Amino acid sequence: MKQNVTIRLDKDLIKKGKVIASKKETSLNRLLSDFLRQIVEEDDYYEQCKKKALSILDKGYHFGGKIKYTREELRER
């Protein structure tokens, strides 16, 4: 579902934005919409990667090898 949003921008910014949009053969509305979509998708991707990384850290890493000594044996001198 699409919904209109009203934003307030400086006239100079709107003019420059329209020129950029024209160079890209699109509208200012589409240019802003695409930019906002990109920001949201990047944030979603970041959150997914963060969750995955934290999950991996919670599981921990096993670097192989076996513990050959007990705590007591290591503390003996």
pLDDT tens string 46-55: 999 999 999 9
DSSP assignment letter at 67: -
Has residue 66 got a pLDDT over 70? yes
Helices 11-23 and 28-59: crossing angle in degrees, nearest 10, is 90
What lies within 8 Å, CB to CB, of 74 at 6+ separation is: none
For residue 35, the one-letter residue type is: F
Quick: pLDDT tens for 10-31.
999 999 999 999 999 999 999 9
Q: Where are the domains of the chain?
A: 11-75
* Local confidence band at 40 (pLDDT 50, 70, 90 cut-offs): very high
